[in-house]
Amino acid sequence: MKWPNRRTVLSNLAWVLAFAVIYSGIRAWQHRDLVHGLAPQFSATTLQGKTFTLAGKRDKPLLVHFWASWCRICRMEQSSIDSIARDHDVITIAIDAADPIALKRYVQNHGIQASVIPDRSGLAARFGIRGVPTDFIVDREGRIRFIEVGYSSEWGLRARLWLAGRD
């Protein structure tokens, strides 16, 4: 077996380092305005008519998923969010809630199973949301442990929920 020469190895390492720096810069820019630390406390009514409260301690970690009906990436991710909601605590917040009847119709037409809160009170602004989808993993103490902006895989979100549940 022939080993690559030193120049090739250094060139490849330089590319990997450049990618890591660019990736880290993009993530830092995406997260610049998002809330960190303790999750903002709120109480709201879901489309399903139930009251949801994010306050104090919880029994297990929570996925807070911000989305919009016009967002194609959100649509691609929705089946994963619904799947996670069968096993974990999940609340989804629709940022395009100007017309609650249209939002209800959208949720029914797309078979969304997770609880949906229409964002009529500015929850997205309180969390610092600038783009969707955005996911927050909140641990049992109410601290934001992980933030993801853009598409996130089901297994990635499940792993973060699992990590947030370990004390």
Whether the predicted pLDDT of 167 surpasses 70: no
What does the pLDDT read at residue 31?
Answer: 63
7 or 54: which carries more pLDDT confidence? 54
Q: What is the DSSP string of 92-134?
A: EEES--S-HHHHHHHHHHTT--S-EEE--S-HHHHHT--SSSE
Residue 60 half-sphere exposure toward CB, CA atoms < 13 A: 11
Contact 37, 142 (CB under 8 A): no
Cβ-based burial of 16 (10 A; exposed 0-12, middle 13-18, buried ≥19)? exposed
pTM: 0.85
Cα separation of the two ends of the chain: 47
Question: DSSP 3-state assignment of 73?
Answer: helix
With cut-offs at 50, 70 and 90, classify the pLDDT of residue 11.
confident
Task: Read off the pLDDT of residues 127-137 as tens digits, 9 standing for 90 and up.
Answer: 999 999 999 99
What is the mean pLDDT of the segment spanning 142-156? 96
Give per-residue pLDDT as tens, 63-80: 999 999 999 999 999 999
Average pLDDT estimate for 100-111: 92
Q: Any idea which of 60-64, 71-75, 94-98 has the lowest mean pLDDT?
A: 94-98
Distance CA 166, CA 162 (A): 7
> Residue 112 pLDDT more than 80?
yes
